[in-house]
Structure 1
Amino acid sequence: MAAPRLALSVFVLMLAVIALSEGLRGPGPKTCCQRYNEKPVPKERVVGYAQTSQRCAKPAILLKTVAGRQLCVRPSAVWVKELISYLDTKYTPGENTQV
C-alpha cells in the first residue's frame, strides 16, 4: 500500500517541477526566420532593423521597410553589415536633424 502512494507522490512532484521550470522560461520568441532574403535591399527602402531572439533556430536580422514589411536577412552577409552600420550612423541618439 505504501509503494503506490510513494510512486504517486514522486510523479506529482516531478510534474510540479516540470511545470515550474517551463513557466520560468517565459514565452517563446515572437518572430523567427525560416528563410533568408538573399537579394540586397536598397538602404533607402529600410527604416529600421531588429535582431531575432537567441532562442530561434537560425540567427537573423529583421529589416523593416518603408512599406511596413519585414524581411529576414542573414546577419553575416556583407551587405547586411554595411546596411546596419549605415542605419546606426543615420539614427544617432541626440543628433540634431534640423539645419
Structure 2
Amino acid sequence: MNIRRLILIAGAAVLIAGVIALLVPVSITGNGNSISCGNAIAADTSEAEAANNQTVAGVPILNEIVPHTDYVAECQQAVSSRRSWSIPLAVVGLLIAAGALVVPRTRTVS
C-alpha cells in the first residue's frame, strides 16, 4: 500500500468521524433527566422550552429570587460546542482526502 492511499484512507476516516459527530444527537441533563437538543446540523430546542415552562422561575414572587436554569441557552451552547469541533474535523478530513486524490501519481522510470 502506497503513502497516497494511506493518506486517502486517513482523510476519509477523519471526514466520516466529523460527519458522524454532526449527526449524533446532542442532549443536556436537567431536572435529573436528559433533554434532547437535536443534533449539530439541526438544533431542536422544543424539549428545552418545555422544560423551561415547567419550572417555577416564570412565576413572579415578591422579594424572592427563584434560581432558574435556562435549558434553551444550555442546549444552544451544547450544539454550538459540538459544531465548533465537528465541522472543522469534517473539513480537514475532506481536504486531506481531496488532496490525496488531486496529487498526481509519481511514476518511476526503470
Do Structure 1 and Structure 2 share a fold, with TM-score over 0.5? no
More helix, by proportion? 2
Q: State TM-score, norm by structure 1.
A: 0.32
From the two aligned structures, give the one with the greater strand fraction: 1
Please give the TM-score of this superposition, normalised by the length of structure 2. Answer: 0.29
Relative contact order (C-alpha < 8 Å, sep 6+): which is higher?
2
